[in-house]
Amino acid sequence: MRSSRSRILSLQTDEIWDVNEKASESWSRFLKVNNPKIVNNFVGLLKSSLKCTYCCYSSVTFDPLWDLSLSIPQQKRKISVFQCLDSLTRDESLDGEDKPTCSKCKERRKCKSLSSQRFPEILVIHLKRLPLDRFVEKLNVLVNVPLDRLDMSHYAADGSVAFHYDLYAISNHSISGHYTAYCKHPYSGTNATIVVFQKFHQI
């Protein structure tokens, strides 16, 4: 694959194309510099909308969706993955230095929202259990995830196709740096298999 995870393709909104045309062009450009076999299975398209709260003008950018990185609230013992998804996609008012200037009315009043323009065949969800502060313990909040038919229609952009996902694998990270993986048995679909991944220098 020619590009790395850090490469981000963004296509600014203008008044020539509609949103679906911009999304299609953004996806076509991304496919030109990436392995289509990997992209078609693991990558989606994230739509980021900025709306001016003064004149209601909206601008849209599109970025490759490699995974959904979800924050976990520290004050709760048990939540559902839908609560984490709602937190990621809810409207966010940008304040202070984060508040951009509207390209139309020049006022610094913006509201940001996220949605998925294109879902991948295989969706990777990352639960952010390790705080940025290394002195804070790992978050052990229980997150409920449906085993079958995770409905993502609420997080789909207007006009896009929503997916339902079945959970088939989990990767766990321990404080020591090791990883363990649990996956459904390829034949029975019920028995769990445990795989231990050693550190790179030990392989």
pLDDT digits (tens, 9 = 90+) for 125-169: 999 887 666 666 777 888 899 988 999 999 998 878 778 999 888
Domain with CATH 3.90.70.10 in the chain: 19-154
153/187: higher pLDDT: 153
Distance between CA atoms of residues 162 and 150, nearest Å? 11
Distance between CA atoms of residues 94 and 25, nearest Å? 28
pLDDT band at 83 (very low <50, low <70, confident <90, very high): very high
Average pLDDT, the chain: 77
So what's the pLDDT on residue 22? Answer: 84
pTM above 0.85, yes or no: no
How far from 109 is each of 12, 39, 46, 131, CA to CA, in Å? Answer: 18, 35, 22, 30
CATH among 1.10.3660.10, 2.40.160.50, 3.90.70.10, 3.60.21.10 for 19-154 = 3.90.70.10
Asked whether the predicted pLDDT for residue 194 surpasses 50, the reply is no
Q: Is 65 exposed, middle or buried, given 0-12, 13-18 or 19+ CB atoms closer than 10 A?
A: buried
